[in-house]
């Protein structure tokens, strides 16, 4: 479970969009480009790529083959470095510049594509959606299977099931025995405190 999760969309105009969304090399490069833009670990970034609808009354039946929608999910783990601030990453995501992001994504995508022997893409960023943030908080609970500490039975609570008079089932007993010597005879005096 992540400490915080950010989601937002990026709408792009892309050449050969069907090929773009299917290529795993492109997907990894998109994650890398976004991680660089937000100054975070690439392992925290995931992205879903789909070819966008054309809109209009029959938008569900037609595709605008130049539009690709990238939905980014940024999951900040609990073991992230101490200097990682959710508010700071959120601010960076909300302030992303379309042209700067297009340059970063194009650079990473086309470098990765060239290295894999593919054909480069023409990419431009047309819009960036609002950032949605979900944060998690920690809770401390007792393990119901854990064994509670037990005390040795004393004269006051042996066989009583631990139901002491203080409501916690804990009885404290101290017995002090003093041996008094006097007049040539030994006498025993005992005192009990509870």
CA distance 85 to 106: 28
Structure tokens belonging to residue 144: 């119901």
User: Kind and range of the H or E element at 34?
Assistant: helix 24-38
Q: Among residues of the chain, what percentage have pLDDT more than 70?
A: 63
2 band by pLDDT with thresholds 50, 70 and 90: confident
Comparison of pLDDT for 117 and 64, the residue scoring more: 117
55 band by pLDDT with thresholds 50, 70 and 90: very low
pTM equals 0.66
CA distance 157 to 170: 8
Residue 102 predicted with pLDDT over 70: yes
Residue 99 predicted with pLDDT over 60: yes
- 10 Å CB burial of residue 174 (0-12, 13-18, 19+) is exposed
The contacts of residue 63 (CB under 8 Å, 6+ apart) are 51, 52, 53, 54
138 band by pLDDT with thresholds 50, 70 and 90: low
């Amino acid at each position: 479970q992540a400490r915080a999760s950010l989601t937002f969309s990026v709408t792009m105009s892309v050449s050969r969009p069907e090929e773009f969304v299917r290529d795993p090399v492109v997907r990894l490069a998109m994650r890398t480009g976004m991680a660089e833009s937000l100054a975070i670990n690439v392992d925290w970034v995931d992205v879903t790529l789909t070819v966008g609808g054309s809109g209009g009354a029959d938008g569900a039946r037609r595709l605008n083959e130049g539009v690709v929608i990238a939905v980014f999910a940024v999951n900040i783990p609990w073991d992230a470095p101490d200097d990682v601030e959710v508010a700071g990453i959120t601010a960076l995501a909300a302030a992303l510049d379309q042209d700067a992001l297009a340059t970063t994504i194009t650079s990473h995508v086309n470098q990765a594509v060239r290295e894999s022997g593919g054909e480069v893409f023409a990419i431009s960023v047309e819009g960036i959606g609002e950032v949605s943030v979900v944060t998690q908080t920690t809770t401390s609970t007792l393990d119901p299977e854990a064994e509670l500490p037990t005390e040795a039975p004393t004269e006051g609570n042996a066989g009583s099931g631990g139901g002491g008079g203080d409501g916690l089932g804990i009885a404290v007993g101290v017995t002090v025995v003093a041996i008094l010597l006097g007049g040539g005879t030994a006498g025993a005096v005992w005192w009990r405190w509870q």
